[in-house]
Structure 1
Amino acid sequence: MQGSRPYDALFDTTYTVSGVRDHYRSQTQAGGIKLERVPQFDNFFSELAHHPAQSFRFKAADKLPQHVPRDFQPQYVTKEDLLQRSLPQAVSGPHRYRYTKRPLYNPAARKALAENSHGALSHASQASFAAPAPPKPASRTVGTQSDYRENETQTTPFAPDYALPDQPSAKQQHLSQRYNCAGPELLTLQEMSFASGTHVGLAQVEAVDKRRLKRAFEASLPPLNDLEMLPVRKRMLDEWEAGEWEEREQEIVQEQDERLVRLKAKLSDREQQIERSNAERIAALRERRSSEKARKLAYLHKQRVSAIRHISEARKYLEKPAKVTKTTAVERYGDYASSVYAPFQREGRFPDSHPKGQNINTDPFQPATLHAVLDLEASLPRRALQPRIRTAKPAASLTYEQRKELQVTRDLQHISDLLASAKGATGRGSGDCWPCQVEEGQAAPAKLKAKRAALVTERPDTPSAPMPSSSAARDAAAVLLQRLLRGRAMQNQMFEGKEARLALIRELQLEEDGVGQCARPEAVAEELRAADALVGSAVMEMVRVLAEQDPGVQADMMRALQQRRRQECGTPEEATTSTSTSNITTSACEAAAIASSAARSSQSAQAADEGAAMAASGPLFGSPEQHRAAVRIQAVQRGRLARQQVEDLRGLQKALERFSPDDVERLVKLQSLQRGRTARRQAASEKEKVVRIQALHRGRMARKQVGEMRDEINPSRTGLDQGRKDAEAALVQLDPGVVRSGSRAAEDDQIVLIQAAIRGHLARKEVAAMRNNTTAGSNA
């Protein structure tokens, strides 16, 4: 059926369909039959099959007139029609073409056919009907080459032999003289044939022009028999050969550029293909993850709805609502909003529309005669005519005292019942209360209720701090010296490690974008070095003094040290500071000497007690004034540190109070995001370095391939390149500091940068490991 003739099923008498269904289907496809839904307002919310909520009807916008029938009209075939169609002469179907007459355009064939079909005709009459034979054409086509065939199936073109005349024409002589060739110029193009695979293009046309120029140049050369012009001829040939070599080199460069462009295009296509495949894979992964997420959310929503329903159902039984009173028939009929007057249509009840034959008479029964009243009374049950009147019992409400009294009475009654049951039992008793005692084997074990242990809150012990020992100050001094010595040893170790790895540190300081210059280390201030030297010398002098075991010699060394420091100090402030320090140290040494002598001497117990008290009070100080001043300074310092710690704790507590658990969780998420960002940046930088290394390697391999291809094309350049390489190697051996120019020097610089970065990474790892070991050792 055509789109421009949609009603062929109705108007075309030759249009045939298989049945009624196809007839109406064709009309539907053509848009002739359009149905629309019509709602039934009486059954608007019905779901029952026998009370449908809607019906269907033909749409009013029909393009066909009303008098055109749409019904199916089958074709009635008679017996005569069937016999006519069954005749052998009535050929139809797929083999009809075999019985169709083919037109004959050849008169001879037509003549032969006429002779065979009409044998009664005479030869003379047949000759009179024959048309005259056409004349023989002046030319004919021997072979034809098609222009619309594929190259793979293309045959070799026809190339006939040629013969040159003994005496060329004037035109041929003019052309030969113009293009400097002996004979036709076409003979010089014999190698450009289809069999040799040469296709005529722009390059071949340029080659023909070059041949013409070369023939013109050869014709312009001086003759060989002229000895005077031989140098000129040689110079012209050399210039022409140099030009040809230069042109050849340009062709090679152009070919290399074209190959490089094709290689770049292929690489670009491959990268695009990879990116496209990655994008498709990511899109598929995103779609799969999205579908999984949607499916998971749908499952969770379903579980949530199910849980809410279970909880709502369980809540009905937990809340224990008041007793639900079922409405009576009187109440239902008295309420016009009940299901009696407005039933649910899902139950199949439709009060507004009654089916045919099922109308209900709602008028009440009103007996009009006495017999009707008696019949109504007889139809009623006896209990309906004899009502019962029951008085409701008042509810007993007890007060609090009455309920307590009732509970005590119940308990007493229970105990009384237990005693009575025990007395009534034969041969049973317990203790001295009953005349018959129970034997030991028959006595039942008493069941006592385990009382719940009362939880008594015990007050914890008051914390107490240990008393300061007599050697606390001495231990503190020893710990301080140990810390100083360990710090000095660690500084020496780090300095030795720095000196040993100075070259590596300079490589680490090298910038990535630089040419290879190392950044200079920051200059250390002279004041810091001087202060470090002063601290080291002071510590060494103090250690030397304290290493002396004899207290007397130790005191003499301290006095000498004090005297020397007084001489070295030039300003009053420095002298005062040095004097106070030396006085404290001297008093400490003297106190240690007095304590040791008092401990060794056993003259009297009082002297020993005084020495022990002095050692306990402060072995590092000599006089009570210095002791009190030191104690005051320590108390002030400890108080300041304690206040600072308290302030820090308060500030931390206030900060924690300002933060809610959600804020803390957000802070942790922000920290994790920052760490992830830092990790991604590091990964990106490492990836960029790897890509740079790969690019350098690929560039080197490409240049190497280009060089090999160039050597294959032009073997004479191999010697020049080898000589250049040997010269560069010799120059590097003679002067290692020489800097190579060009792309190789840049590659070497990039390689140096990469090696420096890798060495720096390894060095940082070693430094971190040394720091961890040092920290662990100091903590131990």
Structure 2
Amino acid sequence: MSTVARPNDYLYDPLFTVSGEKDYYKAAMAAKLSSAKYAICPIFPNMFSDLPHQPRQVIVMRKTNSVPQFEQLPQLNKSVDIHGVDRYKFFHCVTTPKYVFTPPSSPQKSTRKRNKIVQTKYRESSAQTIPWQPSNYIITDDSNPELLMLDFLKWGSGLPAGMHEVRLIERARMKRAWENSLPPVTDEASLEKRRALTEAMERDEWAFREQEIQDIQDLRLQLLVEMLNELHTKSHVRTEMKLKSFCKTKLAEKDEKLKTLRRNADREMRKLEMKHRGIKTSYHPVDVIDECIDRKSELYAPFLRHGENPKRWHQVIDEDSKQYKAQYMGVEDVGTLPRWLDEATLIKDSSINLPGTRLCIRETKWTSQVLKELHDDLKVLRKKEKPQKCSLKVKKEEQEIPMASTPQVQEGDDVEEQLHQSVMLIESVLRGRASQVLIFEGRDRCRELIQELRSTHALQDNEREKIFYERLKVKSHQREYALCVKNARMLKESLNKLSSNVVGTLLDFLNKELRRLLDERRIHAMCLAFERERHNREAAEAGRRQAELRRRKEHDEIFKQVAKVTQDSVDLYLEGIITEGMEFTSKTEATDYVKRLAGKIDEEVHFQDHKSTYEEEEELIANLVHNFLLPEAEKTIIRDKIKKKQHNRLKAAHDCIYSQYDHLPKAEPKRMRHSKVVKIIINIEICSHGR
């Protein structure tokens, strides 16, 4: 099996780069697996078996190429030949030299001490994690330094020293002083006294140790209470978020349902309105343009349930069309159109009476037949004969839907109306005066606050500076308080990490995640087996389906090619006949039009030659000069002026570009920087405006 890249590139390839630490470890793990001697091969039939004689997997040994041994070649320390082959490294030929005068410097003597800058391979974030400590040395005299007795304090575990460490150091000093003050053992009484002092010292040590343990337990209890409070707070916040999300989801569902109901109601109202107007959308004329644009119409994909479409009967191969041969004479006498075309294209009277397409009653009442019958009836009445039954059918007018009546107010006397208007005016004035009085009362009540605001806004410069410095002081205090809170939070987080409950919770979480991972792998293997079976069945079914579709496409293509031959032949023949007729007709009409126009022009010229006077000829010449010659001359002058202006601006732009081009450094690449391009464009605009 071929691999995408060499497995050991992360070790030997200097150009191998990854995006992070995880990707590097992934590459290292892939390299280790590729160089492993053994591989685990699963047995798919026994994937879910627990029997010992039917294992799930087997370990197979494979051939791998181990990592080759790296031999570092000795580096050749070769001295640099400045005047020889390495001379080109120390000289540079500048294309545009800049001559700078430098005064001759006097040679300085090299001192024995020099300052050097050393760059370590460690960064500041990873270096100097533990402060430097001097090496131990042996003291020759008989003194006992106290520093050697503090070996129980280390950096990160007791150092830097706090209040607790200072107390421990003081107790150690007291213990050493107590040990020095113990009486020597000379007799039994001194031994008993020494034993009593030792027991008292031990009781004091045990009491101090118990107090330390109690303090640690109190601190743990406090951390546990804080952790429980934090868990309760998080649970409460999580519950509120769930409730908000649920409410938001339900509100969205409600809005969607309301929108659907409103849309359905609008649709039903439109249907009722169209039904009330007597409009039916079932019957409408076919739009040929929309039918050609829409690729889903029956023009491109006809429905089989509609049967054979008469529009495509010309594609059917007829017996008469088979007789057509281009090499025979008299081919125009052969009938190429099908026999049923005359009958199919015959326009018949439509007897469909739609409720929305009939005319109004006034237009359909007095027809010729009705007028004739009415004339006969009038003749009978004039002759006083027995009248016959009139066959006039009067159509009933459609009843209009009564609209809601507009409410009306009884008209009163003018005096009462004027009195009513006066009362309304007085009421509005009284309301305005009452609101004005309320505003004045509020102003009097808050007069002290208004004066205070005016005094604060009209402070002097010294007072404003004092307020500004006080504000800065308050902000600095706030910043220090924020830093203290941040440090306390960091200390709290570090203590939470050290608590035993957190460790237990982490272990429980890891155990649950391990179980979940095992279950997920088992379910994944089961899904792989089912997916493989489904793919096999789909592949078999897809093969049969593709064969059927391929066969159907072949038959359809054969039928289209056969039908297209006759259609193309008929189209070419009809197109030639129509084109020839159109050309002949257009040529004849153009010739007649030109002849008529020339005759009219000759008659007009002849008439003007005989009837026009000298003043009319001068007026005609003046009109021609004013309408044709003068505008053309003015246009020519304006074009020349525009060309001169453009030429001057173009020349100024070229001068600016070439002047900037001479000062550009030739050692830079061809692509100029954005700032230089902007400067050149600005200079061009300035020059063009100046010209």
TM range (shorter): under 0.3
TM-score of the pair, normalised by structure 2: 0.24
TM-score of the pair, normalised by structure 1: 0.21
Mark the structure with the bigger radius of gyration. Answer: 1
